[in-house]
Structure formats: C-alpha cells, structure tokens
C-alpha cells in the first residue's frame, strides 16, 4: 500500500524551504505543493508535505531543531507603534465574519475604541486553491489574473462595508469609527503582523463552531492567530447567543498554576474593567487531587484580595476526556466565555501538540478568549 502524503505545515515559500532543508538533511523526503515554480520567491502560502510514515520522526526533529525557532523562521519584524485603541476584526465575507463584526463593534463602543476590518487575500499563483480551514482564500481558476482578483476583493470589501453601514444606520451596530484595510499574503501572518505593527487592543475573529467537519486542523487561520498573538484574541462562534460583552455574566479561566496565568488573569480583569461578570477558576486534572483544590483555593484567595468586588469560584475538571468534561461544566455552570493563557512555543510543537485553544476552536460553541502569558 502506497504511503500517503500528509501536510506538515502551510508556510511562506521561504519558511518552507528552510524546513525542507532541515528535514531532507535528516533523510526525510519533503514536497512543496501549490507554488508557482516560475516565481518561487513570491511570498504566499505553500503546503509542505511528507510521507505519513515519516511524521513521528519529523515531529521529533522539528521539536528539537534550533533552526525552527520563531525568530529564525519568522521573517522580519514589523515596525511597532505605541499601543493603540483599535479593535482588529479579520474578515472573510462569511456569516461568521459578520458575527465577529457585530460583537467587535459593540465591544469597541464599550471601550471607546475604533474598529479596523482587515481582509487578507492571496495572489493567484497556485495551480489549485489552498483550503485554509477558516476560509480566507479565493477560489482561483486559470483564467483569472491579478487584476480580476483585485477587482473581486475590492468589490467584496465594498459589499461588506455597505452591509456594516446599513447595520449602523438601522441601529443594529453602534456608530463607532471604523476603517477597512486590505493586505496581500498568508492570512494568519498578515493578521499577526498588523496587530503587532499597530498594537491592537484585541483581535476578534469569527469561527464556525463545533459542527463543521470540513475544517483542516493544521490550516486554521484562527487557531494560528490564537496561539501566536501577543495581544488578546477572542474567537466568536457563529451561533454565540449574545451580541456584546455586556451580556457576559460568567467567565471560566483555565489555569495550570503557572506564574504566567496569574499575570494573564490580571491583564484580563484590567482590560475588561467596564464589564461586570464572575470568574470560575478551572484546573484540568487526570484525577481529583486535594492538592490541586488547595492550590486553586489559594489562587482564589489571592485574587479575592486583589479584586474584592469580583465574585470568584473554583473547580477541578477531569482531563481524561476534557472536551466533553469541559462542555458539561460549561452547560452546568452557565459559562459564557472560556479564557486561557497561551505561551510561546516552538513553531511546530504548536501544530502537532495542539494546545487546548486549538482543540476548543473546533469542538466548542463557547467563545474563547486567549491571553498571552508574558514571562516575568
């Protein structure tokens, strides 16, 4: 039986070449797909594929290789501005994008912020289109050229802008200042670049929710942004029942007793000062352990002193089937948003040891707020 090829990652051509060289030096055959070989230097997304049987070894190499650190593979850092009061909403003209707009506009009004609607498109250099999980790409045919694509992108962005204007005029969206930005490249790279460049207050992204079976786990734009962003990211499933943060009454904060979780918790409370909600501190554990409950109790006590007005609960959720256990906890305790901390990880350990955030995007209909855990 022929060994099938699996996608290891979707990267810029330059990044793909770095990884290809590392793997081939270790004797792993590597293939780059969906790239125009005539113009290989064009900075757009390509699939790096390997044989399925090589996957375990490839993961081990990518985990340990110094060549694959974010700094080496990450390209030039953008110029960073002072912190701005902008709510960044990446859009792809889908229904769930409009849900993110609705939530984002309401959030911006509460925070006295402005909204930036960002759309990222690909240049038509592929033999086939790349299914990106969250669909930020255009379906390209051989007949279409750059001019046609740009016209379509602009037309779609104008249509979205007209929809937003109509919703503002009807009172469905609050009347906050907003602008539309168009960028070319790989969606997650450009979203992260823009949010770093302009120091957005928060990134709000729409997701399909848990009943969508056609999502490519590795290729999800939202998952990549969530795991790499240094500013908070809020993922809003399409069928979230509420439209604004004012409706949020209870937030679950998942902690692993890491010092960075405490810093992230502080950041959470300070960044959501205009809103009123209670917090449930949750620890995921394989077995119920009294020591875990003592530690949770200690954290609760610490935060209760810091924030005397805040109502805080705590609980241990079993980790053996944590998605189902968490779902059950969410329903029983009427949790509106789940918050957790992301940590800086090797570029490929993120893809192949998916964190809680990545798993939850595809398995939960509860909005997810992810805050970067800054080291001390």
Consecutive H or E run containing 121: strand 114-121
> Are residues 209 and 177 part of one domain?
yes
Inter-residue contact 219 to 130 (CB < 8 Å): yes
What is the value of pTM for the model shown?
A: 0.73
CATH number of the domain that residue 288 is part of: 3.40.50.620
- For residue 109, count other CB atoms closer than 10 A to its CB: 17
Query: Containing domain of residue 12, as a range?
Result: 5-73
pLDDT in tens, the chain (376 residues): 467 887 777 676 667 777 787 788 888 999 887 644 444 444 456 778 888 888 888 877 766 554 454 444 444 444 555 567 899 999 987 778 889 999 999 999 999 999 999 988 765 443 333 334 344 444 444 445 566 777 778 788 888 889 999 999 999 999 999 998 888 888 888 899 999 888 899 999 988 755 554 444 334 788 888 888 889 999 998 888 888 999 999 999 988 888 888 888 888 888 898 899 999 998 888 777 788 888 888 888 988 998 999 999 988 887 767 677 888 888 899 999 999 888 765 444 444 445 666 666 666 788 999 998 776 5
Inter-residue contact 111 to 176 (CB < 8 Å): no
Number of domains in the chain: 3
> Are residues 272 and 157 part of one domain?
no
Q: Reduced to 3 states, what is the DSSP secondary structure of residue 58?
A: helix
Alpha-carbon distance values, 285 to 166, 232, 282, 303, 328 (Å): 48, 25, 10, 21, 15
370 inside domain:
no
* Residue 130, beta-bridge partner list: none
CATH number of the domain that residue 53 is part of: 3.30.70
> Are residues 232 and 324 part of one domain?
no
pLDDT of residue 123: 58
Domain closes at, from 23, 48, 73: 73
121 inside domain:
yes
Token representation of residue 50:
């390997």
Q: Reduced to 3 states, what is the DSSP secondary structure of residue 20?
A: helix
Inter-residue contact 48 to 20 (CB < 8 Å): yes
Q: Reduced to 3 states, what is the DSSP secondary structure of residue 132?
A: coil
pLDDT of residue 210: 56
């Amino acid at each position: 039986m022929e060994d099938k090829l699996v996608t290891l990652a979707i990267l810029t051509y330059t990044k793909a070449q770095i990884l290809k060289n590392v793997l081939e030096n270790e004797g792993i055959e590597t293939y780059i797909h969906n790239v125009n070989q005539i113009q290989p230097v064009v900075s757009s997304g390509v699939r790096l594929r390997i044989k399925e049987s090589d996957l375990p070894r490839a993961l081990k190499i990518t985990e340990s290789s110094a060549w694959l650190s974010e700094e080496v593979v990450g390209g030039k850092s953008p110029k960073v501005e002072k912190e701005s009061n902008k709510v960044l909403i990446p859009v792809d003209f889908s229904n769930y994008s409009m849900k993110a707009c609705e939530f984002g506009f309401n959030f911006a009004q509460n925070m006295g912020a402005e909204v930036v609607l960002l759309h990222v498109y690909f240049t038509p250099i592929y033999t086939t289109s790349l299914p990106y999980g969250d669909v930020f790409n255009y379906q390209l045919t051989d007949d279409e050229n750059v001019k046609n694509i740009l016209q379509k992108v602009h037309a779609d962005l104008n249509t979205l802008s007209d929809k937003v204007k109509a919703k503002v005029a009807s009172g469905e969206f609050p009347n906050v200042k907003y602008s539309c930005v168009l960028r070319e490249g790989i969606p997650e790279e450009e979203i992260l670049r823009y949010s770093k460049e302009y120091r957005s207050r928060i990134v709000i992204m729409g997701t399909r929710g848990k009943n969508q079976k056609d999502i490519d786990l590795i290729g999800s734009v939202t998952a990549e942004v969530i795991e790499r962003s240094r500013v908070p990211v809020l993922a809003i499933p399409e069928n979230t029942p509420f439209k604004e943060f004012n409706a949020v009454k209870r937030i679950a904060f998942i902690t692993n007793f890491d010092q960075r979780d405490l810093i992230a918790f502080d950041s959470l409370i300070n960044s959501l000062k205009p809103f009123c909600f209670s917090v449930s501190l949750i620890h995921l554990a394989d077995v119920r352990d009294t020591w875990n409950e003592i530690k949770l109790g200690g954290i609760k006590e610490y935060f209760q002193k810091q924030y005397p007005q805040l109502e805080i609960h705590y609980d241990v959720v079993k980790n053996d089937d944590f998605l189902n256990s968490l779902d059950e906890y969410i329903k029983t305790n009427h949790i509106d948003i789940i918050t957790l901390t992301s940590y800086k990880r090797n570029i490929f350990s993120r893809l192949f040891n998916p964190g809680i955030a990545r798993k939850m995007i595809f398995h939960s209909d509860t909005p997810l707020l992810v805050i970067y855990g800054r080291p001390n």
